[in-house]
A and B are shown apart, each in its own frame.
Chain A
Amino acid sequence: MEVDFALIGHPESWRAAADVLAVLRGPQHTPLPDDEIKDILPWIPPRAVCHVDAGSVTGAKARGLYIDSFIPPDRLESGYVHENIARVREAAAWAIRAGAKIVSLGGFSSILIEGNFDHLPARHDTVFTTGNTLTVGFIVQGIKKMCALEGLDISRSTLLIVGATGDVGSGCARCLAPMLSRVLLSARNVERLRRLAAELHADGVEVEIATDLRQFSAEADVVICAASLASPSLRLGRIASHAVVCDAGYPKNLSPRTEMPGASVFFGGLGQVTGGLRFVPDFRGILNRHPFPDVVHGCLLEGMALALEQRFEPFSQGRGSITPERVEEIETIAARHGIHLAPLYNADGPVEDGRHCRTEWSRG
């Protein structure tokens, strides 16, 4: 059966991979031991895992597939790049063969396949979107909401973006910089940092760049972590004690061992489907492991929203071209179909009641 959209993802952690395999094995079989999962996962070729039915509050419906590239969580590093590109290509080929009209490239999939669209089956009508524009929209909405919850005046804040020159990071910079007093940009490549700084500076924003987080002259009170890290390994170091911190990584950026006493941390870039979301077989809460129902990564939701809108176009493509206007456009489309910012949460649970906001972030 042909589908409207396909979502390409990969397991965010070994726990996530184990849960997917446990559902596939079914309740009649004992779950696989961890060592077996680590041995087996690398051999699973990319393939569809389940069907996804998305509903809109307008009554529109779209049929989709979730395709897993099964990149093992410990193989996201650059040493495996060729193997991983091949996996994402194979996943993309599945989407094309299934007749998907639009494909969302979740997490590392977009980073890997951008510029590597060759060697795919004849494309027919399939288009690809990175989903990063809606991701940026949800990150920015989350920052605004969290600042409001914490009583932080965003216009007087200093914003730090880690992974600032990336597609997501630069999009967030363009959306938020004009509202803040100062912006700190960090990544490893200094030339790209200079280019982004010049662009923001031309718009009248005070910008500082550094490849080493310890070099900034000021403490940040709003932080976005959007670096393409293979595992949660980022330690922020010096930030304001009352800082609002958004971890938008997929996998997460922040090391569970980093200590940020007093900071309000939340996982960003997530949206919630209110018009109905169904996985067949039932992978609810397994493929989307969040403490609220029907929450999905923004990158995947972009394809779903565009499918519900019947707008089969490569909405987000390339790197570093996300503008506030495009973010507003996709947010409007998503909202029309009842796809909104997800309730905020972090590793300790929901944050909006204020109880879990202030985290020591020192588990693990």
Chain B
Amino acid sequence: MTGELLAAMNYTSLSEICDEPAEVADALEHAEAERGHAAAFAAEGRKLGVDVANNVEARHWKRLREAFMRCITERDFMGCLIVQEIMLESFAVASYARVGKVAPGSLGRTFAAIAAEEEEHIAHATAILRTERGSDAPGFDEKVYRLHLDVMTTLARMLAKDCRDGHCDVCDATCVKPSLFEVSLSAAELRGASLRQYLKTLDMLGIPGEVTLAWVAQLPV
């Protein structure tokens, strides 16, 4: 749920640097949709008697927000799209889709539906970014790499099989990674699916596959 709230905050911030009224409306609409996702997750939690954690101040989430805000400070619209839609949403789409497959009933349906919606966001952003890359591919790829080092390093730590540096606060009280097997999932699977989705999204942008493979291979485990 925190991921959705973070996305809502990011889109709201993005609306503040948009020049065109249509872009402002678009960003605010996205922010609203992400808030809707967060509410849907909270509602599913209530059905199960679980208070879904929301902690945008957790170490990793905070870093991700800061990375996004650096793009806002630089009024770098494309950078914002890359961080939110290519990096953070790849992670969201892949992990929600996997949870959607294993979670029962309405919980599974909610995850699957949100994954599908996020995938649409990715497709929309990819079209914009592909055009942008068309005008200066080396400059664009360099920018993606710079943001990759910042954002994906944090995401990779968050997705590591075990949290080696102590409790990262992403989970509420105790780390859920060791218990994922109880719902036929594993931390390795969520990480693998997320990085695979990320590589495929980068492919859609037209960045050479051999280049992005090295980027991902160099992430921390």
Contacts and interface: CB of A to CB of B under 8 A. Distances in A.
B180 to A, nearest CB: 13
Contacts of B134: none
Interface string B182-205: 000000100111011001100100
A40 B221 CA distance: 10
Interface in A93-116: 94
Interface residues on B, range: 20 to 34
A50 interface: yes
A59 interface: no
Given A26-B218, A29-B218, A45-B200, A39 B210 contact: no
A24 B218 contact: yes
A47 interface: yes
Contact of B210 (A21, A43, A47): A47
A281 B213 CA distance: 12
B208 interface: yes
A40 B195 CA distance: 9
Nearest to B186: A39
A24 B161 contact: no
A45 B210 CA distance: 11
B213 A32 contact: no
B217 A25 contact: yes
Nearest to B210: A48
B138 interface: no
A86 interface: no
B50 interface: no
B188 A39 contact: yes
Interface in A259-292: 281
A49 interface: yes
Contacts, number: 52
A44 B188 contact: no
B188 A45 contact: no
| Most chain A CB atoms below 10 A, which of B192, B203, B221 | B221
Nearest to A51: B210
Given A39-B161, A49-B210, A94-B209, A44 B218 contact: no
B214 interface: yes
B221 A32 contact: yes
B192 A43 contact: yes
Contacts of A29: 218
A44 B199 contact: yes
Interface in A41-94: 42-45, 47-51, 94
Nearest to A29: B218
A21 B218 CA distance: 9
Contact of A43 (B193, B209, B221): B193
A191 interface: no
Given A36-B221, A39-B188, A47 B199 contact: yes
A48 B208 contact: yes
Contact of B214 (A24, A51, A94): A24
A39 B192 contact: yes
B195 A43 contact: yes
Contacts of A33: 221
A43 B196 contact: yes
B161 A49 contact: no
Contacts of A48: 208-210
A8 to B, nearest CB: 13
B135 to A, nearest CB: 19
Interface string B139-179: 00000000000000000000001000000000000000000
A43 B192 CA distance: 5
Interface of A: 21, 24-26, 29, 32-33, 36, 39-40, 42-45, 47-51, 94, 281
Given A40-B195, A48-B208, A49-B213, 12 more contacts: A25-B217, A26-B214, A29-B218, A32-B221, A40-B221, A43-B192, A43-B193, A44-B196, A45-B203, A48-B209, A50-B210, A281-B214
Interface of B: 161, 188, 191-193, 195-196, 199-200, 203, 208-210, 212-214, 216-218, 221
6 contacts: A25-B217, A25-B218, A26-B214, A26-B218, A45-B200, A49-B210
Q: Which 7 A-B pairs have the closest CB atoms?
A: A43-B192, A47-B209, A24-B217, A39-B188, A48-B210, A43-B196, A24-B214
